[in-house]
A = this chain, B = another copy of it.
Amino acid sequence: MRTKIAPILNLVEENENLKPLTNRRPVASLPFACRYRLVDFPFSSLSSIEAPSAALFISGSGHSLYDHIRSGATWGLESSVGGGVFTHSHINLKAELEDPQYQGNYYDDHYHYVSRSHAEYVMIMGSNMLSNIRLDSLLRFHEKKDSDATVIYKKIKRSEVREDSIHSALIMSEKDNDKIEGIRPVTDTTDPNDSLLLNMEMMILSKDAFLNYLFKAKKENLDVSVKHIITYCHGSEHNIYGYEYTGYLKVIEDIGSYYQANMDMLNEDNFNSLFYRSNPVLTKLKNSAPTYYGKHAEINNAQFANDCEVYGKVENSLVFRKVTIAEDAHIEDSIIMQDSCIEEDVHLKYVILDKHVYVKRGAKLEGTPDEPIVVAKDSVIYEDGTIEEGE
């Protein structure tokens, strides 16, 4: 059944702690698990409920994101039927912005998209809460509760997010466990072992509730964000509920959590939870050949995409497309992105190579589990371990 839903992907996401990986791409474009980008996960959730269109709000030019999403055909977002993908780049968060001309566009773009979409509901999502949400279940919950707005949360330990995390937690009503009573910063909780209900910054709300909020937001110069809408709902007469997500979740907020999320995939439970227990995860298809493993290849607990040639030793690592690993090279606990080339006798441990890095014969590089070494796109690593950064 085609769902009467207008999804808004709010991809203006904090990326300071993810640099240099986010130097030239938004968080949504971060490569993940050998074949994906983070934005594939919300898009795949939307595809499963057959959302006919989506509006994207992106800070920066979104070049890498456009090239990935194109017409959205991968996720059934056709342009001739249903609307397709509407993209809005160079969006700034309202709080940072004083120029009223841009602010006008920001609210108008939201308004036009939603009002013209023939939708009953608006869905707001981001890309930095890595997860795979069954939106059909959410929708049923939302309808059954006769809710105006429903926010997705997960019960996590305080230690699962950064000490200075910018994210927030829900406070549920004592009378009705499903009802949201308030919201507070996760930093209010200090004991790392304490539980909290993380606001996953995804919500569904009625078109009316959304447009009402938009009117207020424009007047008061507020961002269109889940956090603000929760606060708004409490100030007005809107019912707002929480929907618990129990599958795999990782908050991608720094290099450490990004590294850990990838490594998590080498654990079968996590891998199956994210890829096989919910919606199939769809990504842009590229023509490819099978990966070849050479006569002396040694592989131990690793994942690869197609199009690689592997002659060396790879352990506890993830390898993206079109990577060559020469004989007697040894890769451990690392993430090797697309188009990288690793020569003989190289040893990498706790390393993240961004796309198209060339590692010369004999080079050794070793980070730590907490602080993996990140090598920027197009870099060259020489035998003595010096890194010539890509332009």
A interface residue numbers (CB < 8 A to B):
24, 61-63, 66-67, 70-71, 73, 79-81, 84-90, 104-105, 108, 284-287, 391
Q: How many copies does the complex hold?
A: 2
Contact yes or no, A61 B89, CB < 8 A:
yes
Return the chain B residue nearest A287 by Cβ: B80
Q: Known A-B contacts: A62-B89, A71-B71. Give 18 more (CB < 8 A).
A: A24-B105, A61-B88, A63-B88, A63-B89, A67-B85, A67-B86, A67-B87, A70-B70, A70-B71, A70-B79, A70-B85, A79-B284, A80-B285, A80-B287, A81-B287, A89-B89, A90-B90, A108-B391
Overall SS of chain A's interface = loop
Return the chain B residue nearest A81 by Cβ: B287
Return the chain B residue nearest A23 by Cβ: B101
- Complex-state Cα separation, A12 to B156, whole angstroms: 49
- Give chain B residues whose Cβ lies under 8 Å from the Cβ of A89: 61-63, 89
- Complex-state Cα separation, A164 to B337, whole angstroms: 52
- Complex-state Cα separation, A90 to B71, whole angstroms: 20
Known contacts A79-B284, A391-B108; A70 and B90 CB within 8 A of each other: no
- Give chain B residues whose Cβ lies under 8 Å from the Cβ of A70: 70-71, 79, 84-85
Contact yes or no, A104 B73, CB < 8 A:
no
- Complex-state Cα separation, A79 to B85, whole angstroms: 16
A53 CB to closest chain B CB (Å) equals 11
A342 CB to closest chain B CB (Å) equals 20
A95 CB to closest chain B CB (Å) equals 20
Contact yes or no, B61 A104, CB < 8 A:
no
A79 CB to closest chain B CB (Å) equals 6
Return the chain B residue nearest A109 by Cβ: B63
Contacting A87 at CB < 8 Å: which of B66, B81, B108, B391? Answer: B66
- Give chain B residues whose Cβ lies under 8 Å from the Cβ of A67: 84-87
What are 20 A-to-B residue pairs whose CB atoms are below 8 Å? Answer: A24-B105, A61-B61, A61-B88, A61-B89, A62-B89, A63-B87, A63-B88, A66-B66, A66-B87, A67-B84, A67-B85, A70-B71, A70-B84, A70-B85, A79-B284, A80-B285, A80-B287, A90-B90, A104-B391, A108-B391
- Give chain B residues whose Cβ lies under 8 Å from the Cβ of A63: 87-89
- Give chain B residues whose Cβ lies under 8 Å from the Cβ of A87: 63, 66-67
- Complex-state Cα separation, A372 to B287, whole angstroms: 51
- Give chain B residues whose Cβ lies under 8 Å from the Cβ of A105: 24
Nearest 10 A/B pairs, CB to CB: A70-B71, A71-B71, A61-B89, A61-B90, A66-B87, A104-B391, A70-B79, A80-B287, A108-B391, A80-B285
- Give chain B residues whose Cβ lies under 8 Å from the Cβ of A90: 61, 90
A132 CB to closest chain B CB (Å) equals 24
- Complex-state Cα separation, A63 to B90, whole angstroms: 10
- Give chain B residues whose Cβ lies under 8 Å from the Cβ of A24: 105
- Complex-state Cα separation, A61 to B287, whole angstroms: 30
- Give chain B residues whose Cβ lies under 8 Å from the Cβ of A287: 80-81
- Give chain B residues whose Cβ lies under 8 Å from the Cβ of A81: 287
- Give chain B residues whose Cβ lies under 8 Å from the Cβ of A285: 80
- Complex-state Cα separation, A86 to B61, whole angstroms: 13
- Complex-state Cα separation, A108 to B24, whole angstroms: 13
Q: Which of A61, A105, A108 has the most CB of B within 10 A?
A: A61
- Complex-state Cα separation, A340 to B240, whole angstroms: 39
- Give chain B residues whose Cβ lies under 8 Å from the Cβ of A391: 104, 108
